[in-house]
Structure 1
């Protein structure tokens, strides 16, 4: 029985090892890119919440909703690279934390297309922040691949985490409580703007 439990945790352990390791080259495009989503609690909470919420909704939402976020995040990253003026970026990021936390806390489900569009809008704001704050470097493609792959990994962490929590006795209550905590963290972040 212990062996089966460990197989559920293997992807989580693999991700932790990847995040803890450092590149042999100092600040390559990929390294700077993959580290950026880990640099702020707002990004971490939103990305993990998307994975958790998609798992909570179930069905096709598990892969469509996070995929929409990553796709639109790339669009936002391109706008940020080009320094296009996008008003309300910080507000959009903080709202994503609050609303995703509330969606989890209240167990809100939407049609997959509506959920994908909603997180896609949030993805534009998050991607813009990553692209706008990109360090001066020639390899924007490597930087983008880095922040997009970390984002996808955080979605997986959220989805696997929610899946495991929902298997626990009173797992729904625990997941809803974690969603409420996420939303409260977003409210706190909003007061810091």
Structure 2
């Protein structure tokens, strides 16, 4: 995937939520904006979503698309489940655990089966989505969901692009991915102490 393709994908993803509800009221616009910004201003969400992109790019082949798709699909399911009013215990613990484990996966570079990796990404996505769903504006839940889907896709693409850029420079991406993974895992551990 070249830089022009990645740039085009980012532009398209950034505009999808706005285009989907361009002719609706202000509540939906507010919902889209709050949903879109949520992954960028929550360090736990930001790190996990970039890590999913990095891992997807490192695995390559079908995982390049299947891993982010599993995360986003489960995230939407988690948000929809939250809108039913049901409570799920230990959501924040699961989110912080996802940051630590995704960082550890980058460090280890283990040969984990793609199916298991996708299942893990979907599980993490569900908890991230549940948190998004509980924190969104009640007046515009659909707009909020569309917004955070757009934000998440951009963060996944950012991780994928970063991995591809690292692969083009030096001896390969693994030393840099291990450093990034150490930072992500360390941040997750830090978040566990302040949560």
Per the normalisation by structure 2, the TM-score is: 0.85
Partner Cα distance (1:172, 1:11) in 2: 26
Matched with 1:166 is: 167
Out of 103, 117, 135, which is 2:137 matched to?
Answer: 135
Moved over 6 A (4+): none
Write the deviation string for residues 49-76 of structure 1: whole angstroms up to 9, x where unpaired: 0000111111111100110000100111
Matched with 1:74 is: 76
What does 1:54-65 align with in structure 2 at a 5 Å threshold? Answer: 54-65=56-67
Partner Cα distance (1:67, 1:43) in 2: 16
Contact 2:31 2:136 in 1 (8 A): no
Partner Cα distance (1:79, 1:13) in 2: 28
Matched with 1:146 is: 147
Partner Cα distance (1:76, 1:176) in 2: 30
Per the normalisation by structure 1, the TM-score is: 0.86
CA drift at 1:12: 8.7
CA drift at 1:102: 0.7
Write the deviation string for residues 97-135 of structure 1: whole angstroms up to 9, x where unpaired: 000011011112322211111011101110000000112
Partner Cα distance (1:60, 1:113) in 2: 11
Matched with 2:19 is: none
Partner Cα distance (2:175, 2:9) in 1: 22
Q: Cα RMSD between the aligned structures?
A: 2.4
Partner Cα distance (2:146, 2:10) in 1: 22
Contact 1:77 1:130 in 2 (8 A): yes
Matched with 1:103 is: 105
Structure 1 unaligned blocks of 5 or more:
none
Contact 1:12 1:157 in 2 (8 A): no
Out of 157, 169, 184, which is 1:182 matched to?
Answer: 184
1:83 and 2:85 aligned: yes
Contact 2:97 2:188 in 1 (8 A): yes
